Each structure stands twice: as structure tokens, then as C-alpha cells.
Amino acid sequence: MQSVLFSLMTSLGLACTLLPGIVHMAHRFGLCAGPTPRCSHRQRTPCLGGIALFFGLLVSLLLWSPAASLEQFRNPLAGFALLFLVGVRDDLRPMAAGLKLLFQVLVVFGLVAPGPGALFAGGSPSILHGLPPGAAWLLSGLWILVCVNAFNLTDGIDGLAAGIGILVLVVLGSWFGLTGAWHWAVLAFSALGSLLGFLCFNLSPARIFMGDSGALLLGAVCGFLMVEFLALNAGLGPEHVARLEGAPAVAAAILIYPLFDTFRVFFTRLYRGISPFKPDRRHIHHMLIDFGLSHLRATACLVALNAASILFVFALHDRLQPYLLLSIPWLVALVLTAALHTALRRRRMRQFRARSGRNMNVAEPS
């Protein structure tokens, strides 16, 4: 228990110490993201917040992880470091979407590869008992890859990716503590401390962005811990206080906003004949900004809705069938998104009519 608290304090303190220097150096050497048509900011802002996240996590993990668990962190830390470096490269000099995805695939599937220190070393090779090792490897890799890109796409307004990440890590870290898996709890709270420190600099108006270096790292940590959650939950006895029924549905609800928005945007782009990797302003958080909400209010709304989804599945996991546990939060998200889309379209029509009316009045002869 003490190691968990110390890991949180260490990563928080280190992130808060590093970030002012990173902001200063980024401005000095011009390592900032400029305003773009998709961006709500009007000034150049550093985008290397992932540096503080990574080193806060790394130092805290090495200091406070149980000695017997260090071997289990070998593959995860290597994977996290490689994804962090891919993100840094993209932040400094943007990479083609296909090349970046290729690097992600290679790193993620290496992260879950069998061997000493691998994801399932010493335990079941499957997050769903009965699957052959090859299928488990494929599903685990795909899950983490989706989480990596979901958090990358979520990092679109001030505080959102960090806020969702904090929520997810609090839930997972606390659950691992209940099961006695303190090494995974230390990993979760080490990442949590770094995010809390980063959030102080990322709330609107943001002084620094997470960047791909931070978003890819955060997605990998959350995706990895979620797979460990599924594997560990499957091995708990039916009477264990931490056991959750319908665990895959619970996992989908814990990450509902990043996953729902990513799949929605992905299929919307395909439907419109656009590359799913081409950025646009069709994300829900962009819709909220266009509707008139501030970055802070939009972030608060989405984090609160994600928290409501988590409370729902934790309260009813043993009372509802898994398909209901999975479908109800996603159907609610779909209905709310449709309502937002309709309201935004009506707002834009009113604004268009008001501008047209003003232009006609100006054009009338005196």
C-alpha cells in the first residue's frame, strides 16, 4: 500500500518539476504546434508533454515496484518506451499515418509476444479462457492497438485525454489493489501521478499539449492494464469481492468515450469515402466546442459521462446479462451523440439565417 502512495507522489512531483523546463525549452527552440484549421487555439503551444509523463512513470516504477515483479515489467516498459519514441518523432516531425501505424503494430504485438516478462508469462495465455494462444495474442494486440489510437484521437481539447486517463487509472489501480496485485497498482498509480501533474499545465488555456508522445504512451498503459484486468479477473473465485461478471463489457464501459468516439469517427469517415486516418472536426469533443462550450466544460461533460458509464457497470455487473451490460452504455452514448448532432445542425442553420439576414440588410439601398 505504501509503495502505491509513494509511486503516485514520486511521479506527480517529477512531472511538476519537469514540465516548466519543457515548456521553456520548447518555446526557446521553436518546438511548438502552430494553430491549424482543426485547432481551437490561436497561439503556438509546446506539444512535448509526453516527456514528463514518460519519465515520471519510468522513475516511479523503477523506485517503487516490488523487486520480485521487475521481470514482469521488462516487456511492458520496452513497449512503452518504443511507443513514446515513435510519438516524440511524430511531435517533432510529423510522420505519415500509415508509417506511424506500422510502427505501432510492430511495437504492440511485440509487447504481447510470448516469452519471459511477456504479458501472460506465468499465467493463462488467454484473456478469454479456452482461446488458443495465437488467438489470444492477436486479440490482445488488437485491443492495445485500438486503445493507443483511441487516446491519440481523444487528445483534441485541453484536459480531455488526461482527464479520461486519470479516471481510468484510478479505477484500474484501485481494483488491482483490491485483488492484491500491487505491482500493477504501482504501474497504474505511477502513470496517474504523472497525469495529475500534467493536467495542471494542460487545463484551458493549456500551456503544453500531451502530444503523440504522451497520447500513445497513455493509450498503451491503459490498454495493457485492461488486458491484465481481464486476465486477473478471470482467475478470481466467484466469491472474491473484486470479481466482476461480464468483464469484457466492463472494460468497454470503462473506456467508453475513447472507444465510442474512435469507432464512430472511423466508420463515419469510411461512409463518406474519406480515409479513416484523415483528421477532421467530427469528434464529439469538437462538436461540443462548436456548440459553444468552453474546453473546460466540454472536458468536464465527457469525463462525467464516462464516469457515469463506469458506475453503471460496476453497480449492475452481477444483475444484467453481459450483452445488456455492453449495449446499454453504448446505446445511450449513441442517442446523446445523435441529439448533439441534431442540436448543432440547428444552431448552425440559425447562425446562417442570421448572417444572411444581416447581409441582405447591408445590401439594401438607402
pLDDT tens-digit series, residues 310-362: 999 999 999 999 999 999 999 999 999 999 999 999 998 988 888 777 766 65
By C-alpha distance, which of 201, 218, 220, 209 is closest to 91? 209
* Structure confidence at residue 116 (pLDDT): 35
Cβ pair 89, 98 in contact under 8 A: no
Rounded to a whole number of angstroms, the distance between the first and last alpha carbons of the chain is: 79
Where along the chain do its domains lie?
A: 2-30+45-351
pLDDT tens-digit series, residues 263-283: 999 999 999 988 888 888 899
By C-alpha distance, which of 229, 259, 254 is closest to 243? 229
pLDDT at 84 over 70: yes
Q: DSSP secondary-structure letter at 274?
A: -
Cβ pair 224, 76 in contact under 8 A: yes
Q: pTM of whole model > 0.75?
A: yes
